[in-house]
Amino acid sequence: MVEGKVVVVTGAGGGIGRDIALAMAAHGAKVVVNDIGAALDGAGGSAGPAQQVVDEIRAGGGQAVPSTDSVADAASAARIVECAVESFGRIDAVVNNAGILRDRFFHKMSVDEWDSVLKVHLYGAYFTSRAAATHFKEQESGALVHMTSTSGLIGNFGQANYAAAKLGIVALSKSIALDMQKFNVRSNCIAPFAWSRMIGAIPTDTDEQRARVDKIKQMTPAKVAPLAVYLASDAAAAVNGQIFSVRNNEISLISQPRPVRSIHRSEGWTPQSIAEHAMPAMRASFFDLDRSADVFSWDPV
């Protein structure tokens, strides 16, 4: 599917990123395996995780090089893209997968906890995409695949920073898709459901919590990789500006934000008339939307 293409995968030292990197290589891509080797909260760093995945790809007959630069800094992110160009002569796709967590209830969240998560997820996706965009424009081809989350699409407790970043990535992806479509550059999002260290801290204190975690563990990172490979391939040339989710063996197309109900009043609205007429009519729509989320029982990742 991606024979001969050069693909950068960030956060590829483990979890979803690792499986995407391995799948890209298995389908013929030359891969830049980027990972700073940090802890889940972004602390520390090690070349080990990236090099291990590179060794695994090379052992299978594929081509790969490691990168330990951070996505959270513009110059560092640019070096990740340049690593691809210098190592393999070009760049064809970037998978923005790198991420950290600093979970905290909003009323207790510090500025650093907010800023650090946005720096890696949202700024990181921007920095790497922007660095690749110059090459994509010149060669009039390219694909960007961004990891979003149901934490942003639907919401989750204690993750205002992560949710804001992940929903911001959706808007970033849509804007890139619109701006660069004329250069045959595509940008799409995946909301993955998979067991990884990003959700490894889910409580398991009760039988209900343990059952939930056991169910999530069945959703392996490898299930996400085929869609990422497809979106990076020429077979997805007509797919742009979309949001997908992968949950075990199920792939879903996520709806774009749009009005679900509207009410017109020829004489205009007052706060009182909104309370007495508009909101009662809207409540049914509120209920349907809330219920649809419950029916899916989506666990944010």
Note the pLDDT tens digit of each residue in 113-127: 999 999 999 999 999
The per-residue pLDDT for 9 is 98
Note the pLDDT tens digit of each residue in 151-210: 999 988 899 999 999 999 999 999 999 999 999 999 999 999 865 555 555 555 677 766
Domains and CATH numbers, the chain: 6-256 (3.40.50.720)
Residues 6+ apart with CB under 8 A from 57: 21, 22, 25, 31, 33, 63, 64
Q: pLDDT tier at 292 (50, 70, 90 boundaries)?
A: very low
Just list the catalytic residues: 162
- Return the number of other C-beta atoms located less than 10 Å from residue 208's C-beta: 9
Is residue 245 classed as helix, strand or coil in its secondary structure? strand
- Note if the pTM is more than 0.85: yes
Tokens for 74?
A: 């513009």
- 193/296: higher pLDDT: 193
Note the pLDDT tens digit of each residue in 41-86: 556 666 789 999 999 999 999 999 999 999 999 999 999 999 999 9
The per-residue pLDDT for 209 is 61
